[in-house]
Every structure is written in C-alpha cells, then in structure tokens.
C-alpha cells in the first residue's frame, strides 16, 4: 500500500509543491488553469488528492469531465490527448451526488488530465522495512479462533494486473462481459448492483448461462490464485484501470447492435429452450 509524500508541479512557481496530508488538494479551476477555463469546476465539485488509510488517493466529484491518470514516462508530451491515450486509470464522470471509486496512487511520477489540462504529480515513498521471515508468507496461513479454522485474506499476486490485462487483450468477449456486468460500479452509482448474469448473456450473446460466472472464477484465479474473492473483484478491476468507461461504452454498443439485429431475441429463445429442456 503506497504511503509517502506527494508533490505536484507548480508551473507558476516553477517547482514541486508538497500536498499536505491533513487536507484535500483540489484540482480545481484555479489550480489547473489559473481561473481561465470556466468549464472547470471549483471545489468541492472537482477532482482532488487526499491522504486516507495511510495512502494517497485520486478521486473525482467532477460532473463534466472524466479524469485520466497515466504514468509520466520519459518523452510523454504534456498534452491531454497523450495522457488519455496512455491512461492506466480513468475516473468516470461523477453523478450529481456521488463520486466514483478512487484510485490509489503508486510510487512514481504521474500525469493527471482533466479536460484540456494536465498536471504532473510525484509520489515519493520511503524504503520499507524487510518483513519478518516468520510471517513473510502469512497471507495464506491457517489459524484458529475459538476452535474455528480461519483463513487469512490473501493479497493479489505481484503480476496480477499484467495477467488480467493480458487475458482481456486476448479475450475481448470476457472484457466486455465483465464491463457490462459491473456497469453500475464503473459509473460510480451509489450502492451499485451487478447486472443479472442472464441479462449479460443475452445482451452479448455469450455461449451459455454460466459464462459470466466462469469469467469471474478465472479472473479470481489470475489475481489471487484462488477463488473466494468475488466481492473484491470489481474493486480490483476498477482500481487498476482494467475496466474503464471506454470498455462499458463498447459493451453497450455491442449490446445495442445485438438488440437491433435480432441476436438478443435468438439468445432469449435459446435460453428458454434450455430451461424447458431441463
């Protein structure tokens, strides 16, 4: 979990400025554009940076613009288009009264894009102490509490993000299915609910009723190398930019085309036939 000191680049001062951990740093109209861009919002209706639970988060209450976060690689131009193209996290436009899930910042240099404006960030994390060898592999230890066997919560593998991203690149159907299934989470709705699996199967013309469940199990295996993390799956996929509003847009377009072309009707008939046969 990333901790440390967060800095943003001040073009006006020509230096890095520290973000105070005891207050929110608002990425508002003044900070981004010097009050020039009137399409940008003022606090608290904008994006911001905050230090909570011993980590820095990027969050957004912006009801107009998506907020893009991209690594500040050498040679990356300070242009909104470049940040949006290379973004690893996208915070969707916030509903009027709620904010989407925040993004936890990792150590390193970052670029944030809001509208046409780009801000440079740098998170410096101090060296971490070595873990106690006796508990180094404690995430999978079994302990007892009042005679009950309890398994400690495991953490994602170091290459979990890369494995899921590679899987989604190879299997667009799985990516679109999960985006459609978790669409309320992607949109940042309050108390989000998943879309019924049968509706996902019909909308995207998946192979069978258990397709979404199979995708969820496979993804849990890629991330945690075990099942039992269904409740954590949406948070992991969204927090790591593995499902974005762009994926949801694509999934909805496919669903709309399937509805127009009659594919959804055929899928409904197929499901009804199978249910009668059972």
The DSSP result for the chain, as a single string, is ---SEEEEEETTTTEEEEPPTTS-EEE-HHHHHTT--TTSPPTTSSEEEEEETTEEEEEE--SS--EEEEE--TT--S-HHHHHHH-SEEEPPPPTT--PPPEEPPSEEEEEEETTEEEEEEEE-PPPPPPPGGGTTGGG-EEEETTEEEEPPP---TTHHHHHHHHHHH-HHHHHHHHHHTHHHHTT-SS--PPPHHHHHHHHT-SSTTHHHHHHHHHHHHHHSSS--HHHHHHHHHHTTSS-HHHHHHHHHHHHHHHHHTHHHHHHHHHHHHHHH-
Confidence of residue 136 (pLDDT cuts 50, 70, 90): very low
Is the predicted pLDDT of residue 144 greater than 60, yes or no? no
pTM for this structure?
0.50
141 pLDDT above the threshold of 50: no
Higher pLDDT, 95 or 25: 25
- Where does the pLDDT of residue 127 fall: very low under 50, low under 70, confident under 90, or very high at 90 and above? low
Q: Is the pLDDT of residue 137 over 80?
A: no
Please indicate whether residue 278 or residue 253 has the higher confidence score (pLDDT).
253
* pLDDT tens digit sequence for 162-189: 999 999 999 999 999 999 999 988 887 7
């Amino acid at each position: 979990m990333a901790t440390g000191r967060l800095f943003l680049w001040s073009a006006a001062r020509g230096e890095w400025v520290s973000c105070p951990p005891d207050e929110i740093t608002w990425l508002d109209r003044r900070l981004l554009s010097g009050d020039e861009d009137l399409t940008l919002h003022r606090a608290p209706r904008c994006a911001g940076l905050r230090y909570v639970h011993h980590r820095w988060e990027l969050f957004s209450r912006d009801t107009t613009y998506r907020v893009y976060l991209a690594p500040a690689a050498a040679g990356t131009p300070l242009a909104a288009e470049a940040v949006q193209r290379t973004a690893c996290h996208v915070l969707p436009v916030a509903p009027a009264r709620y904010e989407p899930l925040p993004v936890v910042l990792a150590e390193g240099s970052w670029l944030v894009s809001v509208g046409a404006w780009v801000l440079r960030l740098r998170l410096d994390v101090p060296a971490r102490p070595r873990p106690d060898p006796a508990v180094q592999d404690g995430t999978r230890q079994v302990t007892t509490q009042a005679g009950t066997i309890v398994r400690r919560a495991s953490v994602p593998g170091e290459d979990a993000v890369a494995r899921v991203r590679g899987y989604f690149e190879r299997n667009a159907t799985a990516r679109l299915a999960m985006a459609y299934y978790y669409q309320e989470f992607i949109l940042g709705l309050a108390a989000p609910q998943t879309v019924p699996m049968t509706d996902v199967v019909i909308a995207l013309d998946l192979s069978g009723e258990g397709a979404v469940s199979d995708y969820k199990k496979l993804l849990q295996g890629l991330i945690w190398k075990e099942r039992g993390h269904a409740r954590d799956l949406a948070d992991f996929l969204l927090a790591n930019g593995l499902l974005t509003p762009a994926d949801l847009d694509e999934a909805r377009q496919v669903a709309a085309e399937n509805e127009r072309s009659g594919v959804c009707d055929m899928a409904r008939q197929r499901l009804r036939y199978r249910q009668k046969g059972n």
